[in-house]
């Protein structure tokens, strides 16, 4: 639970989550991986629609 506590989750909340979610560590890792995959996919779609070079500041 150290990572949760480092993120500001109290030990009580961390213990509650662990008691309600089977394989809690696996759940966290899977959720993180799914979020990262979704984020990267959406970032690529955004960059296709709005190329970064369109947003370069002119001096």
Neighbours of 41 (CB within 10 A): 10
Tokens standing for 4?
């949760």
What's the CA gap between 35 and 55, in Å, rounded? 26
Q: pLDDT by residue (tens digit) across 19-43?
A: 999 888 888 889 989 999 999 999 9
What's the CA gap between 47 and 32, in Å, rounded? 22
pLDDT grade for 51, boundaries at 50, 70 and 90: confident
What pLDDT score was predicted for residue 4?
66
Q: 6 or 51: which carries more pLDDT confidence?
A: 51
Domain map (residue ranges) of the chain: 3-49
Q: What percentage of the chain carries pLDDT values higher than 70?
A: 85
| Nearest to 25, CA basis, from 2, 56, 51 | 2
What pLDDT score was predicted for residue 2?
58
């Amino acid at each position: 639970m150290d990572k949760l506590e480092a993120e500001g989750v109290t030990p009580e909340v961390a213990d509650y989550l662990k008691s309600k979610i089977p394989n809690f560590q696996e759940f966290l890792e899977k959720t993180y991986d799914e979020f990262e995959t979704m984020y990267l996919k959406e970032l690529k779609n955004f960059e296709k629609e709005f190329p970064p070079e369109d947003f370069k500041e002119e001096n």
